[in-house]
Structure 1
Amino acid sequence: MFDNLSDKLDKAMHVLKGHGQITEVNVAETLKEVRRALLDADVNFKTAKEFTNTVKEKALGQDVLTTLKPGQLMVKLVKDELTKLMGGDTAGIDLSGSPSVILMSGLQGSGKTTFSGKLANYLKSKKTKKPLLVACDVYRPAAINQLHVVGEQIKVDVYSEEGNKNPVAIAQNAIAHAKQNGHNTVIIDTAGRLAIDEAMMTEIADIHKAIKPNETLFVVDAMTGQDAVNTAKTFNERLDFDGVVLTKLDGDTRGGAAISIKSVVNKPIKFIGTGEKMEAIDVFHPARMADRILGMGDVVSLVERAQEQFDEEESRKLQKKIAKNQFGFDDFIKQIQQVKKMGSMKDLVGMIPGAGKALKGIDIDDDAFKGIEAIIQSMTPEERSTPAVINGSRKKRIAKGSGTSVQEVNQLLKQFNQMSKMMKMMQGGGGRKMMQMMNKMR
């Protein structure tokens, strides 16, 4: 995410981060490079120019050149302005109303139907809502089928009407159905449309007028960059939507849409899609995104994700096992499964300060744990609970059964022993201190 932009901004700020003499000329030159980096990231020219002019004014106004650590102050100014540019505060979603109605709009191929499912899953699992998904794309039967498949996957009801070609009526009937069946949230998936298609634009405006949604979200593919911003502007003129959803942000190395859409449309980014899984949805936090763009990571989001997968009862059982030296491979595989639920490996690594830069160019596969899981699954119950019994002949059998080598089995056993020792040490004060530090970050 934003790899190219992060890299270019890092190079632009390099002079100021050092301990050399910093002059007004240096600052101007650095900000020129920052502007170039933003333009390369497909940020609107006017936005990029205003951004660097503001940073320059603030830098000279705050006497950056005479401070003890001018480089650090400059980075902070850039971060603060970047945060402001992307919306400043985190924007919430309006879930008032009985039921609360959310209208999804967007272009063809923007990932709207998939995101409708992700949003339903998010509201169900994290906001304890009972959502109803509504299929209002009457032009593409595959879209209705897709929504039913998504609904089945996340165990959320889907409302559709076979043979009805009137999306306004379907939306109204769906809301009545939701009231009768105890659904407190209705997510209406509409047909993807082109901004230049007048008939389709009129249709969604009619749906909007008829159902008066609590929240209208415009879904856009982040990878389309400046085109995404221009399209959002056209849609907003007709719909006056409440917020933007950026999909496919995990594949966007530039970041132009995320940075400039708020300043052009004056509507906040509310959610981002960060992968293919139904759980790959995040609330958009401008400050945290600015940190990530500047290579500072996003520890707060990482801790939040970890805490979502954190089971207090399981944790207590695990602590007892560690204390009694009974931590085995069955426990280890449970931990792996929890990590996998947190999201894609690449995304998680990007949240660790400095890690993204250190691992630049290295492909971090989501299947990184497959070999480990295969080795553990090839062990007997006794071997998993008491790894000490694994001798030479057992290693050969495990390697053969998992399609790996004896060396890989040895490596896993070594890593497991090291981790067990570390966990045992953390049973003392170390673990508590780490949790206290994480809590302070919240």
Structure 2
Amino acid sequence: MAHRRNCLILVFLIIVNKFYVDSRPLTLAKLQIQNCISQNVTRQPVIIDTDTDVDDLWAILYALNVPTIDVLAITTVGNAYSKPLYSGSNVLTFLDLIGCSSGVAVGYGVNLPLMSSGYTIPQSLLDSIDSYMTDPTCLNQSANIFLQPSPFSAIELIKLSLEYSTRPVDILVLGTMTNLATAISEDRSIVSKIGTLYFSCGQFKAINSYPSLIPNLTLATYPESEEMIDASPNVFLDVLAVQRVGMSGIKNIVAMPIHTQNTLLINLTQLNETLTKLNIQLKPFVLNFISSFARCTSSNPNGTYLKWWDNSAAQFMVQMQTNNSQGFCLRTQNVKSLYIMSADSHQFFGQGMINVETRLPNASGLVNYTICTEANSDIFLSEFLNKISSEKLYSCARQYSERFDIKLQQCMLKYEDTLQQTNMGKTVYFLKPIFLSMYLFIVLVII
């Protein structure tokens, strides 16, 4: 009996050993692909997710000229301040116009929100944003229709870049969070590879600003057809995506609230005075690209004010990454937030609640945010103009064949056989516990 038991145990150990061996190809394949990509690890990798509004393009121009970051990819979403047909193509056109036609991957993303608020952005505004660069009455630039996006979609780019990057990747969201929410829903393992999520917009108010968090069904009905006063567009247009991302377990979330962004109001006179003071000369296209914003997108043809919404989030990201105490954000605050949906949506649809724990001590699962609560417009403008005038375009310096997504595609093809073995190993990995349990049961019965 003892001899039989020893034999059965030996067979069991052999099966267990094979169980672990079969689970190894996943790690091997990933390491092979990572080594094949040869990622630049001297700079912080960043994915920029954008709805391609004009201020988003300012943010992209700024980020490309920051020496401490490496823009791995730009992913576009078509459910906010650009129409789906233009959200990706306008990024490609802009990159081409600044001399970066092949250095950064552009992935086309989602066109519909996870849940619509019912609000529709005015068609006239969308038309002026989508034609900003090519309209004869605005920048009057030519678009190259042969520019190609990444072979990966936005969702694939987010998931694969996070999976195969050798270090955590920061994500800068300049529009709705639909792309990121979709990517996380499809593969929750990528959450651990996100370094910090930086978000443009958001309303953060003390909870005692509201008489109640209980929906009042006798008031407004969902969905809303008009954007509410004091709403944050990037939240309002897909609040469900913001909720899902916020509750996904991302450890570090940083936001540039719309209230702080609105304090960075600068007119064209201030812009020109700063250029003269800093002795900066911008290329004609870049200067026109910035200064024509009010004229080309405003219903008032004499508009002179520049609003830096999403660009401020990009600069706040760099300030936080580099621990720059001299940056334009003068004060930050750590808050616990809850994005809510309510039938009483005119009051607090999609708002970030802070200080919730002071009123609801038993509340749990609140999301930690770091927000900028005070900013200096002069420091902000100087930083922006200095960076874009350098024209370094660090993330554009590489050749097309050296681009992260292209090398990733080539390396995945190179190790295709290993990846297939990985998939087989994963299948066996999930099946074997069943057989192991059956085997142990038989062993116990026989013994």
Give me the TM-score of the superposition, normalised by structure 2.
0.28
Select the structure with the greater relative contact order (CA < 8 A; seq sep ≥ 6).
2
Of Structure 1 and Structure 2, the greater helix share is in: 1
Of Structure 1 and Structure 2, the greater strand share is in: 2
Give me the TM-score of the superposition, normalised by structure 1.
0.28
